[in-house]
């Protein structure tokens, strides 16, 4: 059984790098019929909050990422919060101590820090070993710790040997003998160190594959040694290259929005962002870019994950989102656009419900020209706010012909039997046929009078959605027909 995990820390919003890691784990599990475990690494008590945990889950679900086991759904390998797994860690550390593969050190944090600085000052690597640290385990110090209710820190005895990691993305990674010394696996406050907790969790949860960012590659040596110490099967590792900004530096707030929540709040569709994140470091066998959920799951493989870093191109993300907005069901896009329209104060919630039919058509008329849902209100303003158009005063024969045609159109609009596309198109065609104005000049002038801009929705949609009265008023004002 393939079992993978996504293990976020609930200390902030879901970064796009974390979302991409979660997505690759999800796709790998779904492609091979495996299980995805959501494990919350909340041992950073000062920064971890339930609110952030809930927000992380909400963001994952918004993206379309679901899990088979986790703190909210349970499972046979729980608990799924590290803060609730203390007995597991203590038992496993006790096992290492009993077998002599770990040892206690009765040292204060500042003493370890002083030793670290001393080794550096002597030109040595700050690698610890049991012989070096036993000076702290005097009878007096042990009694002092006991009397104060203090716990010793626990160090793992690092084997002095070479380790080789057959990474599924990076290829073989070699960790030379002596690369690190003994290291802490449990603090004096009883909290396990990350590298120990993650191994203990992966062993007890029977994780078969670890797919994560390559910023964790430096942790892997310690983790390999711990797997070996417990005699546990070593999962298959796949370290995904990091996401960079357009300037080639690690993606951060200086590049703009970096959290899933920020892109959601700007009006990105979840399926579009799912598609975009998938292509950050992975490519479809046929080079396709617009892919639905099922296509991505079916096509995904670790072998097609790139070894080079992915560049976060927001321009491409917006383009892709625009494609999804244009091709998605109009009812759904209208529903998603309503909060943005209400926020812009073009309509209130009651108006949006009462004028649903008109609103759907208005959204449909502008969605071809937007890339995010948040752009829809600005594109719709032309239906609510009068344009700043000066009086149209013809100065040559072409403009005079257009002026006469616009006056005739205004008269026909006033007396149309029905207000629909066919009637409006018929009126325009009749004017063009009877008066033969310059077509391009007529269309451009009419659009400018009605909207004050030269691009936008289809002209017939503008006229229909403005309604008879607004159309007549704008024509009247521009033509100065008093």
Exposure string of 204-238, with b = 16+ CB inside 10 Å and e = fewer, is bbebbbbbbbbebbeebbbbbbbeebbeeebbbbb
Cα separation, 265 vs 13, in Å, equals 13
Cα separation, 18 vs 339, in Å, equals 27
Closest CA to 380 of 336, 351, 318, 337: 337
Quick one: DSSP state of residue 246? T
The upper half-sphere exposure of residue 89, i.e. CA atoms within 13 Å in the direction of its Cβ, equals 23
Out of 161, 253, 288, 400, the active site residue is 253
**CA dihedral sign, ordered 17, 23, 25, 28:** negative
On the question of a cis peptide bond just before residue 26, with omega within 30 degrees of 0, the verdict is no
Closest CA to 311 of 248, 239, 238: 248
Structure tokens at 366: 């502008």
Are 434 and 411 a contacting pair, CB within 8 Å?
no
Cα separation, 355 vs 228, in Å, equals 67
Return all residues near 390 (Cβ < 8 A) that are at least 6 apart: 478
Structure tokens at 229: 């110490």
Are 468 and 414 a contacting pair, CB within 8 Å?
yes
118 flagged as catalytic: no
Quick one: DSSP state of residue 135? G
CA 149 to chain centre: 45
- Annotated catalytic sites, by residue? 253
């Amino acid at each position: 059984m393939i079992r993978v995990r996504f293990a976020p820390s609930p200390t902030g919003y879901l970064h796009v790098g974390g979302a991409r890691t979660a997505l690759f784990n999800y796709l790998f599990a779904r492609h091979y019929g495996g299980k995805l475990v959501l494990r919350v690494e909340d041992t950073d008590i000062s920064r971890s909050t339930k609110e952030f945990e809930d927000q992380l889950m909400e963001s994952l679900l918004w993206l379309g990422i679901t899990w088979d086991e986790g703190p909210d759904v349970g499972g046979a390998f729980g608990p799924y919060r590290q803060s609730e797994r203390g007995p597991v860690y203590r038992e496993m550390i006790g096992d290492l101590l009993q077998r002599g593969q770990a040892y206690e050190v009765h040292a204060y944090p500042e003493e370890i820090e002083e030793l670290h600085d001393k080794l550096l000052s002597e030109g040595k690597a700050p690698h610890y070993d049991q012989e070096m640290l036993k000076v702290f385990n005097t009878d007096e110090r042990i009694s002092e710790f006991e009397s104060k209710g203090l716990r010793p820190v626990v160090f793992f005895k690092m084997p002095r040997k070479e380790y080789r990691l057959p990474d599924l993305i990076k290829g073989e990674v070699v960790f030379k003998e002596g690369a690190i010394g003994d290291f802490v696996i449990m603090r004096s406050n009883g909290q396990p160190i990350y590298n120990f907790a993650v191994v203990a969790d992966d062993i007890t949860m029977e994780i078969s594959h670890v797919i994560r960012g390559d910023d964790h590659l430096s942790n892997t040596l310690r983790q390999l040694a711990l797997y070996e110490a417990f005699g546990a099967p070593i999962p298959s590792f796949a370290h995904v290259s990091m996401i960079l900004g357009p300037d080639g530096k690690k993606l951060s707030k200086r590049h703009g929005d970096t959290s899933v929540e920020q892109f959601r709040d700007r009006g990105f569709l979840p399926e579009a962002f799912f598609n975009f994140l998938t292509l950050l470091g992975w490519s479809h066998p046929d080079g396709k870019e617009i892919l639905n959920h099922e296509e991505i799951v079916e096509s995904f493989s670790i072998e097609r994950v790139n070894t080079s870093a992915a560049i976060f191109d927001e321009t491409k993300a917006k383009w892709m989102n625009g494609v999804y907005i244009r091709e998605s069901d109009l009812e759904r896009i209208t529903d998603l656009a309503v909060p943005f329209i209400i926020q812009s104060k073009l309509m209130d919630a009651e108006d949006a419900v009462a004028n649903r039919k008109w609103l759907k058509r208005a959204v449909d008329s502008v969605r071809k020209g937007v890339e995010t849902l948040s752009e829809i209100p600005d594109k719709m303003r032309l239906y609510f706010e009068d344009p700043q158009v000066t009086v149209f005063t013809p100065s040559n024969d072409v403009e005079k012909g257009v002026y006469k045609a616009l006056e005739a159109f205004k008269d026909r609009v006033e007396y149309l039997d029905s207000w629909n596309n066919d009637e409006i198109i018929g009126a325009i065609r009749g004017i063009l046929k009877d008066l033969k104005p310059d077509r391009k000049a007529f269309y451009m002038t009419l659009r400018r009078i009605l909207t004050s801009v030269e691009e936008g929705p289809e002209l017939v949609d503008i006229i229909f959605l403005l309604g008879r009265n607004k159309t007549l008023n704008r024509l009247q004002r521009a033509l100065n027909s008093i």
